[in-house]
């Protein structure tokens, strides 16, 4: 019983549908059902509320730190010490008073690791440092940290005026304020190093967020948590708490795995998908081995047999796939055609050799013609007829160019002019004073390469149409070079009728067929087609009207060094 063949694409689609697409559809259905049931949205809303609550708690604690930074401004001890300093400029007394004040305010405040007050008139050398004993930091450590962070803090203070600001440096958070006297003159910069755990510890403990960051004011951005999520994040939670002195903006990336962590149906989903993927790989491997690898191996074996010379080799059709059955049948057909074509080419090669022998024999005729012309020329010289002798020599030169016994399709313009001059000598002898020819070709053009016999047919056409029976004619040959183009112009005084123009348009048409044209009219068409074939459609022959009754034939040839 003959097995039914099916498309390779259909078989592949069926395997993918059974082993990959079906489990994915099931997984998407389960996850979609869970999310659309409302549990996911409720959990997301609870997370958002928890994040906002913890952010509000951090904002309240920041507001309390801001209030603590205002205390020195209202302390009478600071005003008294600063007023006394402005009178006697006793810095030692001022330092003792300010140091006692700041130690009393901040040394036991667990919200701050340490505080630094820098006097405006010498911030680098005149400053007061207050260390919280519970911070665990040594004075040497604080000095090193402040050496790194003093520059950005001072730069921020220069832009604050009477407001407060926050500066974040490598996870360290500073609250910065300018202290002013009663006349709003700056005394110095108060900098308090905040304890991140106290202010933002609750935010860092949110387990469902893969990353958390807060922005204090406009410039200070603090990253509290930054981990790669287990699953792609489904959305980002953002909340803004507007306080009296600062704005706190919080951003948390909600982890997709946290959102669906309560779905019991997902426990078996990943193992099922892994098992389906393994089954898919096994079936795909078996499919490619039987349906693709083996038929390709048969085709390669057949190609090897043909390469070894066994033309006409046939492959047995054993694949159940329509594609490979078609390829095998096409291979067998091409193999048979190759055998037939080889036999035909062998017969054609025998015929070509016979034709080549006949062509070699036909070369005797031109040699005989040249020898005959030489005998006639010798006889004319013996008789003293120099005019006939020179005409025979010119004819021999033109004949030699037409035979092209050297087999060179291109010659230098200098050599081409020898053929032209030989032809012009013959026609001037024919027409006498009725025809005058002027040649104006610069010497630097004579080494340019041009196709053989490209000028003589055009000049012949100019002579035939430039002089009538009993009339006068004038032909001018000139040339010039324009970059990589050589322009050769042949001008005659014969004039053009409308019938002549229509005939020229037909002869110079790109699709003109010379097979059905009388032999006397194919010269200029042959020249045009040869130039277009050699150099491209932008080159060739054109014939146009000139001034008065003049006709200009222009040859455009590519100059190739």
Domain segments of the chain: what residues? 38-267, 437-558
pLDDT greater than 80 at residue 291: no
As a whole number, the mean pLDDT across the chain is: 76
Q: How far is the C-alpha of 489 from the C-alpha of 124, rounded, in Å?
A: 91
Is residue 432 within 8 A of residue 471, CB to CB? The reply is no
Task: Tell me how far apart the terminal alpha carbons of the chain are, to the nearest angstrom.
Answer: 73
- Structure pTM? 0.43
At 478 the pLDDT is 93
> Residue 12 — very low, low, confident or very high, per pLDDT cuts 50/70/90?
low
pLDDT greater than 60 at residue 230: no
Residues composing the chain: 561
3 state SS of 237: strand
Is residue 97 within 8 A of residue 71, CB to CB? The reply is no
Higher pLDDT, 461 or 383: 461
Residue 226: burial class (beta carbons within 10 Å; 0-12, 13-18, 19+): exposed
Matching fold, domains 38-267 and 437-558: no
Mean pLDDT of 94-107: 87
Mean pLDDT of 314-340: 73
Higher pLDDT, 227 or 128: 128
**CB within 8 Å of 294: residues ≥ 6 apart:** 319
**CB within 8 Å of 92: residues ≥ 6 apart:** none
pLDDT greater than 60 at residue 8: no
Mean pLDDT of 525-543: 86
Residue 400: CB atoms within 10 A of its CB come to 16
Asked if the 437-558 domain carries CATH number 1.10.3720.10, the reply is no
Q: If you ran DSSP here, which 8-state letter would residue 109 be given?
A: -
- Percent of the chain clearing pLDDT 90 (strictly above): 4
> Residue 141 — very low, low, confident or very high, per pLDDT cuts 50/70/90?
confident
Residue 1: CB atoms within 10 A of its CB come to 3
pLDDT greater than 80 at residue 318: no
Mean pLDDT of 122-128: 78
At 480 the pLDDT is 92
Nearest Cα residue to 547 out of 474, 493, 497, 489:
493
pLDDT greater than 50 at residue 2: no
- Percent of the chain clearing pLDDT 70 (strictly above): 71
Radius of gyration of the chain (CA): 51
Q: How far is the C-alpha of 370 from the C-alpha of 400, rounded, in Å?
A: 8
Q: If you ran DSSP here, which 8-state letter would residue 262 be given?
A: T
pLDDT greater than 50 at residue 326: yes
pLDDT greater than 60 at residue 35: no
pLDDT greater than 70 at residue 294: yes
Task: List the CATH code of the domain at 38-267.
Answer: 3.30.450.20
At 521 the pLDDT is 55
Higher pLDDT, 349 or 217: 217
> Residue 258 — very low, low, confident or very high, per pLDDT cuts 50/70/90?
low
Is residue 165 within 8 A of residue 156, CB to CB? The reply is yes
Mean pLDDT of 99-124: 86
Residue 139: CB atoms within 10 A of its CB come to 10
The CA angle 173-174-180, to the nearest 5 degrees, is 165
Residue 316: burial class (beta carbons within 10 Å; 0-12, 13-18, 19+): exposed
Residue 182: its H or E element: none
Residue 434: burial class (beta carbons within 10 Å; 0-12, 13-18, 19+): middle
> Residue 71 — very low, low, confident or very high, per pLDDT cuts 50/70/90?
confident
Higher pLDDT, 361 or 513: 513
At 362 the pLDDT is 43
At 487 the pLDDT is 92
Is residue 417 within 8 A of residue 446, CB to CB? The reply is yes
At 469 the pLDDT is 57
Mean pLDDT of 36-62: 79
Mean pLDDT of 285-303: 73
> Residue 19 — very low, low, confident or very high, per pLDDT cuts 50/70/90?
low
Mean pLDDT of 322-338: 75
Q: How far is the C-alpha of 171 from the C-alpha of 248, rounded, in Å?
A: 16
Given its phi and psi angles, is residue 302 left (phi above 0), alpha (psi -120 to 50 degrees) or beta? Answer: alpha
Mean pLDDT of 302-330: 73
At 120 the pLDDT is 82
Q: How far is the C-alpha of 76 from the C-alpha of 8, rounded, in Å?
A: 93
- Helix 322-362, helix 8-16: angle, nearest 10: 150
CA distances from 421 to 197, 310, 406, 461 (A): 106, 60, 20, 15
Q: How far is the C-alpha of 443 from the C-alpha of 466, rounded, in Å?
A: 27
Higher pLDDT, 481 or 408: 481
């Amino acid at each position: 019983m003959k097995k039914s063949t099916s498309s390779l694409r259909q078989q592949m689609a069926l395997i993918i549908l059974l082993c990959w697409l079906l489990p994915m559809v099931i997984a998407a259905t389960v996850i979609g059902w869970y999310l659309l049931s409302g549990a996911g949205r409720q959990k997301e809303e609870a997370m958002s509320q928890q994040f906002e609550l913890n952010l509000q708690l951090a904002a309240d604690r920041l507001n309390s730190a801001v209030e603590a930074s205002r205390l020195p401004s209202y302390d009478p001890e600071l005003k008294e010490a600063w007023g006394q300093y402005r009178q006697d400029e006793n810095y030692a007394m001022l330092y003792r008073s300010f140091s006692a004040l700041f130690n009393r305010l901040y040394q036991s405040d667990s919200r701050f690791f340490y505080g630094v007050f820098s006097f405006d008139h010498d911030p680098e050398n005149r400053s007061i440092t207050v260390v919280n004993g519970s911070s665990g930091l040594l004075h040497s450590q604080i000095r090193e940290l402040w050496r790194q962070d003093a520059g950005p803090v001072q730069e921020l203070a220069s832009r604050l005026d009477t407001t407060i600001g926050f500066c974040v440096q490598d996870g360290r958070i500073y609250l910065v304020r300018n202290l002013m006297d009663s006349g709003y003159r700056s005394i110095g910069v108060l900098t308090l190093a905040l304890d991140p755990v106290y202010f933002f510890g609750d935010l860092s403990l949110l387990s469902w967020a893969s990353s958390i960051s807060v922005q204090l004011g406009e410039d200070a951005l603090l990253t509290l948590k930054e981990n790669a999520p287990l699953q792609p994040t489904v959305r980002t939670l953002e909340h803004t708490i507007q306080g009296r002195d600062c704005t706190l903006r919080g951003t948390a990336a909600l982890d997709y795995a946290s959102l669906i962590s309560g779905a019991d149906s997902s426990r078996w989903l990943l193992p099922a998908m892994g098992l389906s993927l393994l089954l898919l790989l096994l079936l795909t491997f078996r499919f490619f081995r039987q349906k693709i690898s083996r038929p390709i191996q048969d085709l390669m074996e057949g190609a090897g047999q043909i390469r070894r010379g066994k033309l006409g080799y046939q492959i047995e059709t054993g694949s159940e796939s329509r594609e490979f059955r078609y390829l095998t049948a096409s291979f067998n057909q091409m193999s048979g055609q190759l055998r037939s074509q080889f036999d035909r080419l062998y017969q054609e090669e025998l015929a070509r050799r016979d034709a080549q022998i006949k062509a070699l024999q036909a070369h005797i005729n031109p040699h005989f013609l040249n020898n005959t012309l030489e005998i006639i020329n010798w006889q004319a010289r013996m008789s003293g007829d120099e005019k006939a002798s020179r005409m025979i020599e010119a004819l021999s030169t033109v004949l030699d160019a037409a035979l092209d016994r050297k087999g060179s399709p291109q010659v230098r313009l200098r050599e081409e002019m020898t053929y032209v001059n030989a032809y012009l000598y013959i026609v001037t002898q024919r027409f006498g004073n009725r025809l005058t020819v002027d040649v104006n070709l610069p010497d630097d053009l004579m080494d340019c390469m041009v196709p053989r016999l490209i000028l003589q047919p055009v000049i012949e056409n100019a002579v035939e149409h430039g002089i009538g029976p009993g009339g006068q004619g004038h032909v001018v040959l000139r040339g010039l070079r324009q970059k990589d183009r050589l322009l050769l112009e042949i001008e005659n005084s014969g004039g053009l009728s409308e019938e002549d123009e229509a005939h020229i348009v037909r002869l110079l048409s790109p699709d003109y067929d010379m097979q059905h044209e009388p032999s006397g009219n194919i010269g200029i068409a042959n020249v045009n087609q040869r130039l277009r074939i050699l150099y491209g459609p932008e080159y060739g022959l054109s014939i146009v009207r000139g001034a008065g009754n003049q006709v200009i034939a222009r040859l455009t040839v590519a100059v190739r060094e």
